Amino acid sequence: MADPKNQHDALENRRLLPTPGAHGPAELVDSDVQSISRAVLLLVTTTEKITFETANNPPPTGSPANALWRGSEGGYAIDGFITMQYANMSAMDHARGFVSLIRTPTVRSTALATVARGALESLARTWHLLARESNSDFVYRVISLLRSDLRYSELLDEPIRTRDGDPVDPVARREFYSAELERLGLPSPARIELAGMVSAMLDAEMGKSDGRMRYSALSSIAHAHRLGINTFITTGNDGNITGLAAPRPVVMDMVGQLVAATFGTTQSFVAFYGDQTRHVELLETAMQRALRILVPIMNSIGPD
């Protein structure tokens, strides 16, 4: 039988990131706050600008978006465009919340993981659609996502309405989307798993294979699991618990995930709309400036 003391030690030693040998202050300092704010907001404002411009203009001729728009299922293509535009807006709204928390010392703690997780979940919707293998696969993903979004409304018999106030029957609508896939000769509806989408996005954009672990770690904090919150617990010299504080290495890892996912997803979004010179230059400039700001902090934390 396992030694309870060893189990307790293992629990207490759990960390969001392996940080032995990390350099510098245990928590964020004022210069970190200013740097993180500038870097994240650079990408946020750039992604918002690109998103709004694509939302208010027809897809450029020759772009993948235009080909879908003019295809036989242009209506579902537009549904996909709207899904991505709304997802981008939601993700950047969460990222702004992250910056607000960074700049507010009294709440600079576990809530950071919650809003970072929300930003990644929103970005993953856009990333998932853009990871299509073909135009028909894009339509398949759009319809599967629309159908999946109604799952809990169906289970809970939730009364829902359109933006115009018209009632929507989630059961009938989900059946409609299933029938549409059959009409188009596409496979049965895909099972949409949020954790899987976020994990795939992080694996691709961070060049690693630990996306599932990173998402799980953020979720453990957001859900107040002891394993997650433990990283944030502060104690006094007497060993008594004094409160919560966000560890600097952990915060910077969240920042790294946000920056990588935002840049990578927005880069794919720009390509989808034809790699317009203005958008490419806006995004590349923002990312280069963000990296110049953040890399010195990352390097100062890195273990020996």
Say what the pLDDT of residue 239 is. 86
Q: What is the DSSP string of 116-169?
A: HHHHHHHHHHHHHHHT-SSHHHHHHHHHHHHHHHTHHHHHTT--EE-TTS-EE-
Instruction: Quote the pTM value.
Output: 0.90
Strand pairing category for 167-168 and 233-235: unpaired
Residue 3: pLDDT band by 50, 70, 90 thresholds?
Answer: very low
The CA–CA distances, whole Å, from 47 to 218, 251, 266 equal 23, 22, 6
Amino acid at 96: R
Residues 147-204 have pLDDT tens digits of 999 999 999 998 899 889 999 999 999 999 999 999 999 999 999 999 999 999 999 9
Secondary structure class of 238 (helix, strand, coil)? coil
Residues 61-109 have pLDDT tens digits of 999 999 999 999 999 999 999 999 999 999 999 999 999 999 998 778 9
In angstroms, rounded to a whole number, what is the distance separating the alpha carbons of residues 304 and 302? 7
Mean pLDDT of the chain: 91
Residues 237-285 have pLDDT tens digits of 888 999 999 999 999 999 999 999 999 999 999 999 999 999 999 999 9
Secondary structure class of 113 (helix, strand, coil)? helix
The CA–CA distances, whole Å, from 170 to 96, 108, 261, 294 equal 32, 39, 32, 45
| Residue 35 burial class via C-beta count within 10 angstroms: exposed 0-12, middle 13-18, buried 19 and up | buried
